[in-house]
Amino acid sequence: MCSAKIKAVKHARNESDLRQVDRDEFEDKLTDPDVNEFDKRRARIEIRKIDEEELEQQKLINDALVDIITTYQLLQKYPKYTREQFENEERQHFHLIAEQRKAAGNDGDNLMLMNIKTSPEILDEILMLYADNPAKLIDFEED
């Protein structure tokens, strides 16, 4: 999440810099005696538009920065894990879930059947997979 927001903030800042270049060009037109009055009026409108967009963009940048800082502060409260620690915790987590399912009588086969029963799309998909050889549905080896 944060990396996307950081990229968005960088992009917004670059766009802001480009808008400032455009604004400077329009400002130059206002002081150029060779530019006619209509082009000067257009330049004033463009400057006003750029200023309004810039205000809106700065608000969005500030909001994104607040989100990034808040997320960073929250993440600092959690312990830092090495890859090995994470994988061990992950293994224990999924083992605990499997044990809870088993205790509730939902082993893998029952869980699959429950999902099929509640999802006709899954049942249709399984039937299509075995349409060429329906015997595969009942011909499986047990462990």
Residue appearing with tokens 């150029």: 32
How many domains in the chain?
Answer: 2
* Of the residues 56, 76, 96, the one at which a domain ends: 76
Q: Give the global pTM.
A: 0.50
Task: Judge contact between 72 and 2, C-beta under 8 A.
Answer: yes
What pLDDT score was predicted for residue 97? 82
Q: Are 23 and 50 in contact (CB under 8 A)?
A: yes
Distance CA 9, CA 17 (A): 12
Length of the chain: 143
Q: Quick one: pLDDT at residue 53?
A: 93
Pinpoint the alpha helices (H) of the chain: 2-31, 37-76, 83-103, 108-118, 120-129, 135-138
pLDDT at 27: 97
SS3 106: coil
Q: Are 50 and 26 in contact (CB under 8 A)?
A: yes
Domain annotation covers residue 119: yes
Do residues 52 and 117 both lie within one domain? no
Q: CB-side exposure of 16: number of CA atoms within 13 Å?
A: 15
> Of 41, 56, 76, which closes a domain?
76
Check: CB of residue 43 under 8 Å from CB of residue 29.
yes
Residue 33: what pLDDT? Answer: 95
Structural domain that includes position 88: 83-138
CA 16 centroid distance within chain: 23
Type of residue found at 117 = K
In a domain, 20, yes or no: yes
pLDDT tens-digit profile, the chain (143 residues):
578 888 888 999 999 999 999 999 999 999 999 999 999 999 999 999 999 999 999 998 899 889 889 988 988 888 888 889 888 888 898 888 888 877 877 666 666 666 666 566 766 777 777 777 766 655 554 44
Residue 79, pLDDT score: 83
Contact 2, 65 (CB under 8 A): no
